[in-house]
Amino acid sequence: MTAAALPTGSVLTTSSAGARAVAARHAARDRDGRVQQVLALSALMMYLTVAAWLSAHDLVFPDAMSRVANGYYVLFSRDPHLAAIGFVWNPLPSLLTMPLLLATPLWPALAGHALAGCIVSSLCGAYTVGRFHGLTRDLGAGPATAAALTVLMAVHPLVLLSAATGASEAMLLAVCVYTARHLLRWLQTDDPWALVHVGLGTGLAYLVRYEALAIGVSVGLLVLCVSLLRARRRSRPWTVSLLDVTLAVTPLAATFALWSLASRIIMGSWLETFTSQYGNSAQVGTARETIDAVTGGTGMGHAAAYLLAQLVHTAPLAPPLLLFALVAAWVRADARILAPTVVLGAVLGFQELTFLFGMSFGWMRFQIAAVPLGLLAAACLCGAVRSAGLRSDGHRLPAAFVTLLLVVGLTIAMPLAWIGEADPLLAREETLARESASAGQYVMTDRIASDIDAMSLPDGSVVTDVAYSFAVVLASDRPKQFVITPDRDFTVALNDPGGYGVRFALVTSRQDSSADAVATRYPGIFDDGGGVATLARQWQDDSGFTWRLYRFDDETPSD
């Protein structure tokens, strides 16, 4: 029967049903959008509240504060210039704090307590929460399940603390979720515009953290394989596939090349994190004995056991859930779960491998990618059983039961993460933050800054290595009185303090500052002045952590 021969009522009924289906999809999309906004705004308020509480109790993470400091030097140091942001760490976390840091004269805590970084990371955390909800829906989870999984992700201690403390992991997670969602859309639609967004995500990720290199490799391989499968019956499948890969990874390659080139031109090395005395490699090497003591010994076996203990406390259900989700995806010929797997899995795999090979501190926060990965695997499984339930009335009750079981199981496992955060062996960085706060370390650095400010010194009077004294400089109302390592004339001023008007050196013990440029230039200066300076002031917190201010003698030798 032709369309013209169909009864008029049948045509109208079909058209009406199609219109209702389209309207229902639009209504569901609007509802999801409103839910995402509510979840994101709620998360933002929670993260900002926690950030304010942590700041009020001096619970500050030095890594996060140092990234705020890098942005601060660009604006307020004695020698403000863009390269002062440094090349050891990726620049985006510091760059995004700079607009907020402009208000430091009105609100000193933005710098002094690193609140600028906390605000930026809270915004990133809120964005992640909203996008994560959309990703769970894209994977097939129902509205209630998606909301529950999103809440579990938002309140997980690793996610919460990263968002509230200014940690760069919050920004990396935001970029990863953005990248994964657009990669999923490409897997569903083969739309090249989605790959443009994927490329933007990988490029931004490298400006946040080095794990982006692993993301680029894994995403590139997935896009290549999927594109080849799709184009296998075309005349030039490799050409089409390589074009897709180019869209996905070229921004990352360009970002890597340009950042490395800038580092080479300005600093003289391609990758400062490996070659600098302040870089990750040098820091891990210095802390090697401490790390081995925590893991129970040297070798990959001890390191692997330590990582497993961290993972069990962080996301114990993530590995089995991901395995089941991948099996279900294979059975159902549904590739959607591959998107978050290759993005977040690359981050997690990068962190685990670098620790196994002795190139990482193995902080607890490095396990953060396992949290959304496990929850997204659960969303995929919930989507699979929900789809089966929608196809058959007889499967609806079992599907609902399986979904409820997954959500309840994930909720019950949550306290393990909080227990892990309280474990001094597994959560060493968090333990150090608590110990520093209880010892009054940041009360001491505030006092150092105020005492030096009260001396009313001219600009460039105090030389110090801000790899260690950044908290003092951030707390000071007169940052230009310091000659700091990012200053372009730091080395010549350090070599000839008298000739450059440098009157004092601010140093801490070599045990706590192994690469301190001032102590390297003047050996023994912390202990007794090193024959070139006289002790002027000393400050000490309750743990014995000590800073000393030395006045250079008039006859200090110069190079």
Does 388 map to a domain? yes
Provide the pLDDT for residue 298: 80
Identify whether residues 468 and 383 lie together within a single domain: no
With cut-offs at 50, 70 and 90, classify the pLDDT of residue 233.
confident
Identify whether residues 235 and 343 lie together within a single domain: yes
Q: Residues 271-295: what's their mean pLDDT?
A: 86
Domain carrying residue 514: 439-552
Task: Supply φ then ψ for residue 341, to 5 degrees.
Answer: -65, -45
Q: How far apart (Å, rounded) are the C-alpha atoms in residues 201 and 178?
A: 7
Task: Supply φ then ψ for residue 392, to 5 degrees.
Answer: -145, 125
Which pLDDT tens digit goes with each residue over 129-155?
999 999 999 999 999 999 999 999 999
Short-list 306, 279, 265, 283, CA closest to 428: 306
Identify whether residues 211 and 74 lie together within a single domain: yes
Does 22 map to a domain? no
pLDDT at position 393 over 60: no
pTM: 0.93
Which pLDDT tens digit goes with each residue over 148-200?
999 999 999 999 999 999 999 999 999 999 999 999 999 999 999 999 999 99
Mean pLDDT of the chain: 92
Q: How far apart (Å, rounded) are the C-alpha atoms in residues 22 and 35?
A: 20
Identify whether residues 119 and 226 lie together within a single domain: yes
Provide the pLDDT for residue 46: 98
Q: Residues 454-473: what's their mean pLDDT?
A: 97
Using the 3D structure, point to which of 433, 448, 480 is the last residue of a domain.
433
In 3-state terms, what secondary structure has residue 167? coil
Q: Are 536 and 473 in contact (CB under 8 A)?
A: no
Provide the pLDDT for residue 275: 84
Does 3 map to a domain? no
Identify whether residues 179 and 87 lie together within a single domain: yes
Burial 82-99 (b: 16+ CB within 10 A, else e): ebbbbbbbbbbbbbbbbe
Q: Are 245 and 219 in contact (CB under 8 A)?
A: no
Instruction: Name the β-bridge partners of 535.
Output: 550
pLDDT at position 295 over 90: no
Q: How far apart (Å, rounded) are the C-alpha atoms in residues 381 and 321?
A: 8
pLDDT at position 1 over 50: no
Using the 3D structure, point to which of 408, 433, 458 is the last residue of a domain.
433
Which pLDDT tens digit goes with each residue over 22-70?
776 777 787 888 999 999 999 999 999 999 999 999 999 999 999 999 9
Identify whether residues 391 and 530 lie together within a single domain: no
Give the single-character DSSP code of 539: E
Provide the pLDDT for residue 44: 98
Provide the pLDDT for residue 15: 62
Identify whether residues 289 and 206 lie together within a single domain: yes
Does 501 map to a domain? yes
Q: Are 541 and 487 in contact (CB under 8 A)?
A: no
Does 202 map to a domain? yes
Q: Residues 228-235: what's their mean pLDDT?
A: 84
Provide the pLDDT for residue 286: 85
Q: Residues 433-458: what's their mean pLDDT?
A: 97
With cut-offs at 50, 70 and 90, classify the pLDDT of residue 237.
confident
Does 4 map to a domain? no
Answer with the residue of higher pLDDT: 221 or 278. 221
Secondary structure tally for the chain: helices H, strands E: 26, 5
Instruction: Name the β-bridge partners of 549.
Output: 506, 537
Answer with the residue of higher pLDDT: 245 or 297. 245
pLDDT at position 498 over 60: yes
Task: Supply φ then ψ for residue 553, to 5 degrees.
Answer: -70, 155
Identify whether residues 358 and 445 lie together within a single domain: no
Total domains in the fold of the chain: 2
Beta strands 462-464 and 482-484: pairing type? parallel
With cut-offs at 50, 70 and 90, classify the pLDDT of residue 236.
confident
Identify whether residues 457 and 428 lie together within a single domain: no
Does 17 map to a domain? no
Provide the pLDDT for residue 102: 98
Q: Which residue has the tokens 């196809």?
A: 391
Residue 500: count other Cβ atoms within 10 Å of its Cβ: 18
pLDDT at position 391 over 70: no
Identify whether residues 476 and 365 lie together within a single domain: no
Using the 3D structure, point to which of 433, 455, 472 is the last residue of a domain.
433
Identify whether residues 96 and 242 lie together within a single domain: yes
Does 13 map to a domain? no
Distances in whole angstroms, Cα of residue 260 to Cα of each of 244, 265, 334, 495: 25, 9, 39, 29
Q: Residues 336-365: what's their mean pLDDT?
A: 96
Residue 130 tokens read as 């909203």
Q: Residues 104-128: what's their mean pLDDT?
A: 97
pLDDT at position 554 over 90: no
With cut-offs at 50, 70 and 90, classify the pLDDT of residue 276.
confident
Q: Residues 224-235: what's their mean pLDDT?
A: 88
Identify whether residues 453 and 409 lie together within a single domain: no
Q: How far apart (Å, rounded) are the C-alpha atoms in residues 387 and 416?
A: 31
Q: Residues 476-505: what's their mean pLDDT?
A: 97
